Amino acid sequence: MPPIFTWNVRVYYEDTDAGGVVFYANYLKFFERARTEWLRAAGVSRLDMIADSTIFAVKNAAIDYRAPALLDDELTLTVIVQKLGRASLVFFQEVWRGTDLLTTASITIACVHTQTLRPCAIPAHAWEKIAAVPIQAGNGNT
């Protein structure tokens, strides 16, 4: 899998406010979907993690809104792993409309036990697949 994963999304009416501009919180949904597809492409099964009583939860999100996405835009989202720990990952993500960079985010996710919701090690079967993806320390395309 390449160090920069891309996933496309179309902006639907439900993603926008009354003015046809993507509502700011919906970028978090776009980022989540792109990370989910990244995990799938890396071969990590969320169902297997749940069977191991583990899930990923967002620990921190820092977002920079540069320009708005609009109704019916086709967006390209990027996902880059910046850091992999035993119980967490740091992602750098971007939203592009063509050649225009609209939004960037640094998002940390932690592996937590489903019963206690306390941090725990990423299960070995998932960690090995994630560790096989190249880590890119910089901000990718920016």
pLDDT in tens, 85-129: 999 999 999 999 999 999 999 999 999 999 999 999 999 999 999
Q: Give the burial string for 91-124 (b: 16+ CB within 10 Å, else e).
A: bbbbbbbeeebbbbbebbbbbbeeeeeeebebbe
Q: What is the pLDDT of residue 142?
A: 45
CATH class (in words) of the domain with range 5-131: alpha beta
Residues noted as catalytic: 17
Q: Residues near 12 by Cβ (< 8 Å), separated by ≥ 6?
A: 71
Q: What are the φ and ψ backbone dihedral angles of 60, each rounded to 5 degrees?
A: -155, 140
Q: Which two tokens stand for residue 16?
A: 């926008």
pLDDT tens-digit map of 39-90: 999 999 989 999 999 999 999 999 999 999 999 999 999 999 999 999 999 9
Q: What are the φ and ψ backbone dihedral angles of 101, each rounded to 5 degrees?
A: -80, 120
Domain borders along the chain are 5-131
Q: What is the pLDDT of residue 59?
A: 98
For tokens 């999100």, the residue is 61
